[in-house]
Amino acid sequence: MLLVQEEKGSAAYNAGYEVGKWVAQNPILTLLIGVVVSVGFVWILTKVVKQIRTFGE
């Protein structure tokens, strides 16, 4: 539960709602976002594993 909850009529809610509608109507964009997030996750994971492997050297 959030300590500060925004109202449904706020500017941030409306902006998020509009972005969500736009992404939902463009499946290619959803796919591209998924690819970018996946590649970013793998990149970070490889950096962490490399740090762990070279820790004792």
Tokens of 6: 């925004």
pLDDT tens digits, residue range 2-17? 555 656 778 888 888 8
Q: Which residue has the tokens 């762990």?
A: 52
Give the confidence band of 29 by pLDDT, cuts at 50, 70, 90. confident
**12 near 6, Cβ under 8 Å?**
yes
pLDDT score, position 13: 83
Residues whose CB falls within 8 Å of the CB of residue 6, separated by 6 or more in sequence, listed in order: 12, 13
Model confidence over 39-56: pLDDT tens digits? 999 999 999 999 988 887
